[in-house]
Structure 1
Amino acid sequence: MDFILDETQREIAGLAAEILGREIDFERPPGERGFDEQVWRALGKAGLLGVALPPELGGDGLGLAEVAVLLTELGRAAAPVPALTLAFGLLPLDRLGTPDQRAELLPEIAAGEAVVTAAVHEPSAPLTADPSTRAVADGGRWLLTGVKTSVPSLAAATRVLVPTTAGVFLVDPRADGVTIAGTTMRLDGVAVTEANQVRDRESGEALATLRRYALAGMLALGDGALAGALALTTKHVGQREQFGRPLATFQAVAQQIADVYIASRTVHLAALSAIWRLASGRDPYPDLDIAGYWFAGEAPKALAICHHLHGGLGVDITYPLHRYYAMVKELSVCTSN
Structure 2
Amino acid sequence: MDFGLDETQREIAELTAAVLAKETDPGQSWRALADAGLLALALPAELGGDGLGVAEVAMVLTEVGRAAGSVPALPALAALGLGVLPLNRLGSPEQRAALLPGVAAGETLLTAAVHEPSNPFTTRPGTTAVTDGGVWRLSGTKIAVPHADTAARILVPASLPTGTGIFLVDPAADGVACTATHTSGGGTEHSVRLDGVVATEAELLTDSRPGEAIAVLHRYALAAAVALGDGALAGALELTTRHVASREQFGRPLAAFQAVAQQIADVYITSRTLHLAALSAVWRLSAGLDPGQDLEVAAYWLAEEAPKALASCHHLHGGLGVDVTYPLHRYYGLVKDLGRFTGGAADRLAALGERVAG
Q: Which residue of 2 aligns with 1:69?
A: 59
Q: Deviation per CA, 1:45-92: give whole Å up to 9, x if none.
A: 111101111111101111000000110000000021511110100011
Gaps of 5+ in 2: 181-189, 348-358
Letter in 1 for 2:306: A
Once the two structures are overlaid, the 10-residue window that deviates more, 129-138 or 82-91, is 129-138
Q: 1:169-184 maps to which residues of 2 (within 5 A)?
A: 169-182=167-180, 183-184=190-191
Question: 1: distance between equivalents of 2:148 and 2:242?
Answer: 35
Question: 1: distance between equivalents of 2:266 and 2:143?
Answer: 32
SS of the equivalent of 2:292 reads coil
Post-superposition, which runs of at least 4 consecutive aligned residues in structure 1 deviate over 3 A? Answer: none
Question: 1: distance between equivalents of 2:259 and 2:340?
Answer: 29
Q: Is the 8 A contact 2:3 2:283 kept in 1?
A: no
Q: Which residue of 1 aligns with 2:236?
A: 229
Q: Which residue of 2 aligns with 1:329?
A: 336
Question: 2: distance between equivalents of 1:155 and 1:304?
Answer: 32
Question: 2: distance between equivalents of 1:220 and 1:88?
Answer: 13
Q: Which residue of 1 aligns with 2:46?
A: 56
| Mapped pair 1:47 → 2:52 | no
State the number of aligned residues: 327
Question: 2: distance between equivalents of 1:321 and 1:155?
Answer: 28
Gaps of 5+ in 1: 27-35
| Mapped pair 1:196 → 2:203 | yes
Q: Which residue of 2 aligns with 1:33?
A: none
Q: Is the 8 A contact 1:150 1:184 kept in 2?
A: yes
SS of the equivalent of 2:149 reads helix
Letter in 1 for 2:107: E
SS of the equivalent of 1:175 reads coil
SS of the equivalent of 2:154 reads strand
Q: Is the 8 A contact 1:41 1:112 kept in 2?
A: yes
Letter in 2 for 1:306: C
Question: 1:9 deviation in Å?
Answer: 0.5
**Residue 103 (structure 2) aligned to one of 97, 103, 109:** 109
Q: Is the 8 A contact 1:127 1:334 kept in 2?
A: no
Q: Is the 8 A contact 2:178 2:191 kept in 1?
A: yes
Q: Deviation per CA, 1:269-326: give whole Å up to 9, x if none.
A: 0010011001101111011111111111110100111111111111111110111011
Question: 2: distance between equivalents of 1:46 and 1:168?
Answer: 31
Q: Which residue of 2 aligns with 1:186?
A: 193
SS of the equivalent of 1:24 reads coil
SS of the equivalent of 2:101 reads helix
Q: Deviation per CA, 1:73-118: give whole Å up to 9, x if none.
A: 0000002151111010001111111111100111111111110000
Question: 1:127 deviation in Å?
Answer: 1.7
**Residue 88 (structure 1) aligned to one of 82, 89, 111:** 82
Aligned residues with identical type, % of pairs: 67
Question: 1:155 deviation in Å?
Answer: 3.1
Question: 1:154 deviation in Å?
Answer: 1.9
**Residue 281 (structure 2) aligned to one of 274, 284, 289:** 274
Letter in 2 for 1:61: G
Q: Which residue of 2 aligns with 1:263?
A: 270
Q: Which residue of 2 aligns with 1:16?
A: 16
**Residue 93 (structure 2) aligned to one of 74, 99, 103:** 99
Question: 2: distance between equivalents of 1:126 and 1:263?
Answer: 25
Question: 1: distance between equivalents of 2:8 and 2:323?
Answer: 38
Q: Which residue of 1 aligns with 2:296?
A: 289
SS of the equivalent of 2:116 reads coil
Q: Which residue of 1 aligns with 2:352?
A: none
Question: 1:3 deviation in Å?
Answer: 2.0
Question: 1:195 deviation in Å?
Answer: 0.9
Letter in 2 for 1:98: S
Q: 1:119-130 maps to which residues of 2 (within 5 A)?
A: 119-130=113-124
Using structure 2 for the length normalisation, give the TM-score. Answer: 0.89
Once the two structures are overlaid, the 10-residue window that deviates more, 227-236 or 119-128, is 119-128
Letter in 1 for 2:178: I
| Mapped pair 1:118 → 2:144 | no
Question: 1: distance between equivalents of 2:326 and 2:202?
Answer: 47
Q: Which residue of 2 aligns with 1:245?
A: 252
Letter in 1 for 2:239: L
Question: 1:149 deviation in Å?
Answer: 1.0
Q: Deviation per CA, 1:209-241: give whole Å up to 9, x if none.
A: 000000000010110000001000111111111
Question: 2: distance between equivalents of 1:272 and 1:142?
Answer: 39
Q: Is the 8 A contact 1:144 1:190 kept in 2?
A: yes
Q: Deviation per CA, 1:219-266: give whole Å up to 9, x if none.
A: 101100000010001111111111121111111111111110000000
